[in-house]
Copies of this chain bind each other. A is one copy, B any other.
C-alpha cells in the first residue's frame, strides 16, 4: 500500500504509519516506489524553503522587513533545513534584510541566491549568510537572449566563483537555469567540473516548468552518476507537475528540494511546501512526521497568503477548505466505517478535522444515520432511509444547508413520536 510501503522506504520497517496503513495490501501490490532502490532519497530529503526568494518574485509579493522575519521564524519553527533569501544585489533593503535575518540565530541555514558574478557574490558573503546559491542560465535560449555568454565563459566563471566562496569557508551551490532545455553534455561537463573542486551542491532547475516526471527521473539519475556532491532540484509549476517532479527527483537520488509556501513564485510558482509534504508524508510518514511540525502548515500558509493578499486555493492539498470533506453517499458510508477507505492523509496529522457532507442529493442513508445519532435522536434504519429520501427530494429542488437537513430530520423524528403517542 502506498503509505505503508513508503514507511518502509523511509525506515525499512513495515510499521503502522498514522495514515491508516495496514500490511496485507502492501504485500499484495508490487507497484510501489521501491524502498530497495538505493538511489531513492524519499525517506531522507532536505527542504530549501524559498518563499523569501522565489516567493518574492510572485506578482503580488512585497515583504517588508518584519514580514520577512516573521516568515523566517515560522519556517524555522516548522523545521525547514534551509531558508533562501533574495539576492542582496537586488536592492539596498534586500541587502539589509539579509543581514537582519542572519542575525536571528535560527536553526535553519540561511542562503541567498545570486548570479554567477563576483560583485554579487562578494556583496552576499558580506551579509553573513551560511551559504550561497549561485545560478547561471545554460540553455541556448538564455545564453542567446539573457547573458549572451558561451559555455567556456560559464565554466570559467563558475570555477572562479565556487572556489572563491569555498575559500571563504561557506556553503556553495552551483545551479544552471532552465536545465531541461540545456545541452546535456554541457550540463554534465559543467557540474562535473564544479564537483571536482568541491562544490557542496549542484542544482537542476526546471525554470520554465516544462519537465515531466520520468524526464526528471532520467536526468537526475544520470547526474547522480556523474557528481558526488548533493543534488538540489527546483521545479516550476506551469504544467502542474512541480510536486510530482520533486518526488521523482528524490526517487532518482536528488537530496534537496526547493519549495515556497503555497508555491508562490514567478508566474504560477514552484513546488508548494504543503503539497510537497502531503506527497512525502504518504510515502515516508515516519521521516516527515519526526522532522517537520505538520500542524503548523495551515498557520504558515495563512500568514503568507495574508502577506501577499491571496486566498488559499480551494483545492490546496491538506488546507483546501474541502480537502477532508466527503460527499457522495458511498464515500460517506465507507468513511464512517473506516476513514482509510477514502483518505490517504489523516487530517489529525495536520491538526485538522474530517467532515462528512450529508446535506445533498448525493447523500446516502448511512451519512444521515450518523447525523441522526449526532443530534441525539433514535430511528430504525428504515426510518432513516425514509428520512434520507426527504432530504434528497429537497436537495433536488435547491442547494440545502446542514440546518435544512437537520430540520427535516427533526420534523421527521417529531412525526414519528406523535404517531407513537397517538397510537
Contacts and interface: CB of A to CB of B under 8 A. Distances in A.
Interface string A389-407: 0001101111100000000
Given A322-B58, A323-B238, A327-B266, A185 B93 contact: no
Contacts of A182: 25, 28-29
Interface string A63-100: 01000000000000000000000100011111000000
A334 B145 contact: yes
A24 B337 CA distance: 58
Contacts of A275: 239-240
Nearest to A208: B344
B338 A239 contact: no
Given A215-B33, A334-B145, A93 B396 contact: yes
Contacts of A397: 93
B212 A266 contact: no
B145 A331 contact: no
A157 interface: no
B145 A338 contact: yes
B215 A317 contact: no
A237 interface: yes
Contact of A331 (B266, B316, B325): B266
Contacts of A268: 314-317, 320, 322-323
A-B residue pairs, 7 tightest by C-beta? A244-B244, A313-B313, A2-B210, A240-B243, A213-B213, A62-B399, A93-B396
